[in-house]
């Protein structure tokens, strides 16, 4: 059986949940078995809907509320053991990165992080993953009885089928969390970077925070998230939660638009899994152009107003 951990964000299912559910279901097909899900906490969404993505049973643990990697690891380990799971799958997001390695140790299971394709089961169990900050791929064989995979976001297409999952309360002890939350600061009214299909990002080429309307105006028109390079966050032009790159948030949107960003290797490492990259920079030698699918050599202060006007006309805004 294949078991998949489904993340809840404030009680709701997000795109990454459907993606990893589809991946688990397709993996189960390859192995000739079923895909079950485990959800920790209280969901405000209908969990039977996970059946549309190939999940046949959803096990819930309502007592596991506030996220604690150690507590969640123990609960998922109990579920994997009791349900005889041979493969456990996570999304390679912040929570998945916190739980999956711990679970690997607890279950003495082989673990591959950042998978980008279904496992090859024609001769063993081989998982393809990104290496060297996305510059190459590695095919890693897992030979342990239980296998753990974390799937890179936006690397597997969501597959919708006919079905409805059975929701079952899973009885297992839940340890008290040792983490004390002293404050919670939420960013509201914005598209989450990790979930965004489109991201509009700016760099020092915009010359100052007063010019950031070129980024936010286009993002609003496109329903996109906004992001920035590390130097922009370091000099407090933009908040650090918008910093994308090797030392910030790694993203993989369908469209990434970079405005006034040179494209240093550290920045590329966090965005090079984007399906399409558009670069706008007045320096024709900017390194980013080598990674771009489309590039515009020009001054952002001249190019961006024209792009914004064109999008407004296209949308009838």
Q: What is the residue whose two structure tokens read 């030698």? A: 285
Helices and strands per DSSP (H, E), number in the chain: 8, 14
Q: Which two tokens stand for residue 273?
A: 């899994």
d(CA 96, CA 94): 6
d(CA 8, CA 2): 19
pLDDT in tens, the chain (317 residues): 999 999 998 899 988 999 999 999 999 999 999 999 999 999 999 999 999 999 999 999 999 888 999 999 999 999 999 999 999 999 999 899 999 999 999 999 999 999 999 999 999 999 999 888 777 899 999 999 999 999 998 899 999 999 999 999 999 999 999 888 888 777 766 788 888 999 999 999 999 999 999 999 999 999 999 999 999 999 999 999 999 998 899 899 999 999 999 999 999 999 998 999 999 999 999 999 999 999 999 999 999 999 999 999 998 86
Residues of the chain with CATH 3.40.50.1220: 193-315
Contact 64, 72 (CB under 8 A): yes
What is the CATH code of the structural domain delimited by 193-315? 3.40.50.1220
The yes/no answer on whether domain 2-169 falls in CATH 3.40.50.620 is yes
Helical pair 213-222 and 300-315, crossing angle rounded to 10 deg: 20
- Enter the pTM of the model: 0.88
- Residues paired with residue 88 on neighbouring β-strands, in sequence order: 3, 148
Residues of the chain with CATH 3.40.50.620: 2-169
Q: How many C-beta atoms surround the C-beta of residue 134 within 10 A?
A: 18
Helical pair 94-107 and 69-82, crossing angle rounded to 10 deg: 50
d(CA 137, CA 122): 19
């Amino acid at each position: 059986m294949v078991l998949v951990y489904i993340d809840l964000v404030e009680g709701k299912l997000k795109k990454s949940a459907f993606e990893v559910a589809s991946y688990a279901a397709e993996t189960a097909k390859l192995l000739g078995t079923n895909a079950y899900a485990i959800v920790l906490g209280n969901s405000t969404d209908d969990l039977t809907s996970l059946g549309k993505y190939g999940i046949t049973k959803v096990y819930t643990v309502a007592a596991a509320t506030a996220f604690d990697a150690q507590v969640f690891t123990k609960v998922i380990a109990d579920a994997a053991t009791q349900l005889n799971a041979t493969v456990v799958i996570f999304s390679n997001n912040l929570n998945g990165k916190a739980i999956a390695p711990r679970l690997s140790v607890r279950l003495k299971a082989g673990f591959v992080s950042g998978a980008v394709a279904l496992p090859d089961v024609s001769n063993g169990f081989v998982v393809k993953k990104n290496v060297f900050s996305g510059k190459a791929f590695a095919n890693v064989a897992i030979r342990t009885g239980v296998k753990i995979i974390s799937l890179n976001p936006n690397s597997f297409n969501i597959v919708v089928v006919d079905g409805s999952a059975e929701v079952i309360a899973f009885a297992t002890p839940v340890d008290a969390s040792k983490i004390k939350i002293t404050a919670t600061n939420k960013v509201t009214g914005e598209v989450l970077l990790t979930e965004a299909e489109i991201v509009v990002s700016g760099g020092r080429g915009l010359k100052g925070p007063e010019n950031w309307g070129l980024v936010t105006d286009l993002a609003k028109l496109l329903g996109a998230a906004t992001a920035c390079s590390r130097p922009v966050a370091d000099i407090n032009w933009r908040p650090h939660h918008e910093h994308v790159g090797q030392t910030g948030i790694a993203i993989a949107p369908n469209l990434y638009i970079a405005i006034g960003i040179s494209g240093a290797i550290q920045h590329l490492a966090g965005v090079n899994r984007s399906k399409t990259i558009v670069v706008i920079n007045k320096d024709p030698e900017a390194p980013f152009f080598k990674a771009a699918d489309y590039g515009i050599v020009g001054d952002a202060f001249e190019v961006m107003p024209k792009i914004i006007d064109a999008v407004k006309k296209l949308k009838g805004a």
